[in-house]
Chain A
Amino acid sequence: MLRDFLVWLQTELGKGPGEYPMSWSEALLGSLNFWGLLEGTHLLALMLFAGTIFVVDLRLLGVTFRRTPVSVLSQKVLPLTVFGFAIVIITGLALFYAKPLVYYHNIWFRAKLVFIAIALLNILLFHGRVQRNIAAWDTLAKPPTAARISAVASLSAWIIVITLGRFIAYDWYECGKPIPAWANVLQECAASEHGAASLAEVAQ
């Protein structure tokens, strides 16, 4: 059902009359400059978003800004982080819209979504539980273990998200190529237009 929606999104939405009608998604993908601008904006916003969140995480680990209260640093830096995150999400959705089916059947993209969910869950846990008694450790150079674990989880999750984002561009596990069976299952290659080719069967 989700795939049917994505097929409509990619091939039907915005399709006009004419000899070679293009959907909005196809027009976006085929644009000479706009696609590149979107990618550039996505990366620049990522620098703002991830770069600033790393600074807050390093403060929670007691590595930098050790004399600045955690609450003060968060208050000053996180608005920039949120601004960057908003642009990353908007440009990310636009990039997805240009090739929804390619991303849907991409194992790295699926893994990226999982780790984004983990990172967001970690933020919720931090604000809901860890930060509850922040008054007790706000000014400590080295915050308590729970805060440091949360910082490590945040750093790791966002680094993995960035790594997986880069791997999406590579076709190592592209549907239709001979790939391990588990990869075919995880990215639903059987439903894709290229089908599923098992590496084991090809080897035999």
Chain B
Amino acid sequence: MKPSDIFPTIRPWVEGLVDVWPAYIIKPQFASWQVLHILSLVVLGGVSILINLRLIGVGVTNESPSEVQRNLRPWMHVGVIGIIVSGVLIGMANAERLYDSVAFTVKMLALVAGVILTYGASLPTARADGRVSAGVRVWFLVGLAVFGLALFVFAGGELVNPGVWHMILAAALIVLIAAQGAAPVDLSGGPAGAGRGPVRGHPFHRQAGRLRAARPGKHRLCLGVPGVDLRPGGLAAVHRARSGERQAGQGHRLRHHPRLGRGRRRRAMDRLRLTHEEGPRGVGPSTTPGRGVRSVGRPGRGR
């Protein structure tokens, strides 16, 4: 789907853009303006990666998300304004080619999605240290819809669609990063690779052990679970709920639960005590240098 397919009647206007100010001034210095576009892209990319990685608990974790966005927000503006201004200028000087380009349609849709997701969801969430408001949810859904449309056009665009590979790879990397610690499988390895396997203390740890005992070699099936585990309220959330202050509250509720019999209550208390002895992950001083308590994001790996 090219811009010429969407707006077929504006071709004469597009063809005349190159003769309009400032396009005819830009044209001779086209390469220099392209450099400005790439530099803006680099600033935007670096800042966006750092802010969003912080939101999933990676990168500059010694600072709160609000502090990270406070420091990087001006540079985000520089990057966004830079790509839009330089993009409009080089776009005017090269309008005819872009008018017949599917890649340009994808780029514009992705740009709109990126701006919505950044200013509507990512920055406000970082500013609120991870608290997600109703407005943010709405903008997130709108941004996601536009991004989905961009991907749809991208995947269907002849000759440009191999680029979808980048999206798939990026998505896989994000899942890998986000799944660290929250997932039932420790993907980080460990000393001499000894740590690969279900994370100790995770609800799946015992389950994987049973599976291993029952069907040798088939326990790797649980590798597919991280995606399910990342659902809101999924097992990762259940696991997080076990930690810290909630533990005391749970003990109190169990002791005074009106419907629990003595046997069930004792067994539940034993389970809770066992969890407490294993230690919640992500709280308390970390044993890994440079990894402290994180105010937002996934729990630490814990070994």
Contacts and interface: CB of A to CB of B under 8 A. Distances in A.
A103 B253 CA distance: 72
A162 B39 contact: yes
Given A50-B42, A51-B43, A68-B63, A80 B31 contact: no
Interface stretch (A18-26, A92-100, A163-171): A163-171
Interface in B50-77: 50, 53, 59-63, 67, 71-72, 74-75
A77 B47 contact: no
- Chain A binding surface SS class: helix
Interface string A44-61: 101110111111001000
A37 B160 CA distance: 10
Interface residues of A, number: 36
Contacts of B148: none
B166 interface: yes
Contacts of A55: 46-47, 50, 72, 75
B13 interface: no
A23 B35 CA distance: 33
Q: Which of B41, B67, B159 has the most CB of A within 10 A?
A: B41
Given A36-B162, A41-B166, A51 B42 contact: yes
B71 A77 contact: no
A46 B159 CA distance: 23
Contacts of B165: 37
B1 interface: no
Contacts of B35: 162-163, 166-167
Contact of A51 (B45, B59, B71): B45
B46 A54 contact: yes
Nearest to B34: A166
B249 interface: no
Contacts of B31: 166-167, 169-170
9 contacts: A37-B162, A50-B46, A51-B47, A55-B46, A55-B75, A76-B62, A77-B59, A169-B31, A170-B31
Interface of B: 31, 34-35, 38-39, 41-47, 49-50, 53, 59-63, 67, 71-72, 74-75, 159, 162-163, 165-166, 290
